[in-house]
Structure formats: C-alpha cells, structure tokens
C-alpha cells in the first residue's frame, strides 16, 4: 500500500512554481503557490492586498463619480499627497534640518520612475522586495542571479532594498495603494477582460529560467518577480534579438505608463508581477 502511494505521488506533476521561488506566506488573498502558477495565468482572478480597499474605500467611492481617466488620475495623486503627507514631510516625522534629498523624494512616483531608468537599481530592489512581501514571489535576478542566497548579488539586493525603505514615509503602503488603483483603472478600461497580450525583447532564450520547452517556440518559464513588458511588439524589437510574448493576467499588472500622466518614459510600458508563465518566444 505504501509502495502504491509512493508511486501515485511520483507520477503527479511537479508544481509549476518551484518552492525555491516562493514564500509560504504573503499579504494577498491567494498564496504564492497559486497566484504564481500556470493555472493562475490561464484562469486568473482578482488579487487584493490585505485591507487596502477597505481602508481607502472613500477614495474609490470618490473615483467612481469621475468619468474621465485624467480626472481620476489627478484625484488619485491628490489623495496620495494628502494621505501620505508627501508635501508635509515634517508632519510625517522627517527630522527638520536633516532633509536628505533621497529621503524626501522616496515616494511611489520616485520608485516607479527609478524602475524605468534602471530596474537593477535601488528603486528596483525596493519594488522587488515589495512584491516578495505582498505576493510571496521571490526575486530571481537583480544585477545578477539571486538563486544563491549566500552570494554577493543577493546580499547586495537585500542591502539596496533595505536602504531604499529606510526612513521613508509608509512607502510600502503607498505602493499597495498604487497597485490597487492600477487594478481599479484596468477594470474600468477593460471590463470583462482577464488578459492582455504583452511583449518583451530578450537577447538570449536562457535569460529566463526554462521550466519546460514545448513546440513552435512555446516555453514554460519562471519570470523574475517583477518585469517590464510592452504592449507594442515593434517596441520590444528594440531590446533584443528574440521576442517573448505572454498572455498576462490583468490582475498581475502592477502599473503601466498611461496610469498616471508622465509616470513612465516608455509610452507602452507595463510592469508585470512574475511567477510561472507559458510564453511564445520567436525571432525578430
């Protein structure tokens, strides 16, 4: 009987998201093993960070009254400024006379703009650490492979992320609300839609961890926990010799260029939460 049980267990497919790529806990309505899986990619559901919508329900009630995206975006930015005292940092606890520029500007806008400039910089480390905390998906790359938790690259990543959060004004809470607002806008812009087709230029197929190779350029890959994509295939051509195309769940879009005016430099950039994905990789 024990042999039969062992045989049944060995015949079961391995999880699509390796245990080494996820945490056993997060601050989301689904565990990482589910939201990071191939099944979730195919059959996504809304993702919610614990308590954010309830705590900021007045904001979303107000946004519902605005018909234009631009008006909602302005209302959101005004709310962020007031709620997080972004223009009143002394009241937020910053010591007078010690206003280091990097700390004064360490807000949600600085983080996403820093990501667009260099996803392997300090702001990128903060965002990847935020994804780890909220969604339980471990970063796989940051200026080098992070698979070796004892390696220099991993220690540098942790140090950058820690320094980036130090003495900031509820920065992770700002990112929580940014993601939640992004999901609100996507639901209004794409009602009854679960996926968006996005592209990413790569120079080598092995830039991503290959879980399984299929036919006709189809691969199952493990993406970093946060990734830049574009909705414009021609734009993706500029960044590599191969094009990676993915059917991305809208619930895994953290933010995108048009969400707030002038937020990102790339007109069609989408920043996507990772995990296991089935993708199609083709040459240009």
Which tens digit of pLDDT belongs to each residue from 89-141?
665 555 555 545 545 568 999 999 999 899 999 999 999 999 999 999 999 99
- The conformational region for residue 170 under phi > 0 = left, psi -120 to 50 = alpha, else beta, is left
User: In this model, does residue 1 exceed pLDDT 70?
Assistant: no
- What is the torsion angle, in degrees rounded to the nearest 10, for the CA atoms of residue 178, residue 131, residue 173 and residue 55? 80
The overall pTM is greater than 0.85: yes
Please count the residues of the chain.
Answer: 284
**CB-CB contact of 76 with 178 (8 Å):** no
Residue ranges of the domains in the chain?
Answer: 52-189, 195-283
Q: Is a pLDDT exceeding 70 seen at residue 53?
A: yes
Task: Say yes or no to pLDDT of 25 above 60.
Answer: yes
**What is the average pLDDT score of the chain?**
89
Sign of the four-CA dihedral 181, 182, 187, 190: positive
Q: Phi/psi of residue 143, each to 5°?
A: 55, 35
Q: What is the mean pLDDT of residues 224-242?
A: 90
Instruction: Return the closest-CA partner of residue 98 out of 106, 89, 109.
Output: 89
User: Whose structure tokens read 């899986």?
Assistant: 37
DSSP letter at 251 equals G
Q: How many Å separate Cα 4 from the centre of its chain?
A: 42
């Amino acid at each position: 009987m024990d042999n039969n049980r062992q045989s049944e267990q060995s015949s079961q497919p391995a999880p699509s998201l390796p245990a080494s790529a996820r945490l056993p806990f997060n601050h989301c309505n689904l565990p990482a093993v589910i939201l990071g899986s191939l099944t979730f990619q195919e059959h996504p559901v809304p993702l919610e960070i614990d308590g954010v919508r309830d705590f900021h329900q007045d904001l979303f009630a107000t946004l519902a009254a605005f018909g234009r995206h631009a008006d909602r975006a302005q209302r959101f930015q005004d709310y962020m400024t007031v709620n997080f005292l972004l223009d009143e940092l002394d009241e937020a606890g910053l010591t007078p006379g010690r206003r280091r520029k990097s700390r004064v500007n360490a807000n949600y806008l600085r983080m996403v703009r820093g990501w667009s400039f260099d996803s392997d910089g300090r702001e990128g480390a903060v965002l990847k650490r935020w994804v780890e905390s909220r969604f339980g998906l471990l970063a796989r790359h940051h200026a080098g492979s992070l698979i070796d938790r004892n390696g220099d690259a991993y220690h540098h990543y942790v140090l950058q992320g820690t320094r980036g959060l130090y003495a900031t004004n509820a920065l992770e809470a700002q990112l929580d609300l940014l993601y939640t607002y992004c999901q609100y806008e996507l639901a209004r812009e794409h009602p009854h839609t679960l996926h968006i087709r996005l592209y990413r230029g790569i120079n080598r197929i092995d830039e991503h961890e290959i879980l399984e190779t299929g036919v006709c350029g189809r691969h199952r890959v493990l993406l970093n926990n946060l990734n830049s994509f574009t909705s414009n295939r021609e734009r993706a051509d500029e960044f590599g010799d191969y094009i990676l195309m993915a059917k991305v769940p809208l619930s895994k879009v953290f933010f995108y260029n048009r969400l707030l005016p002038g937020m990102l430099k790339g007109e069609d950039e989408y920043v996507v939460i990772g995990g296991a994905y089935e993708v199609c990789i083709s040459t240009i």
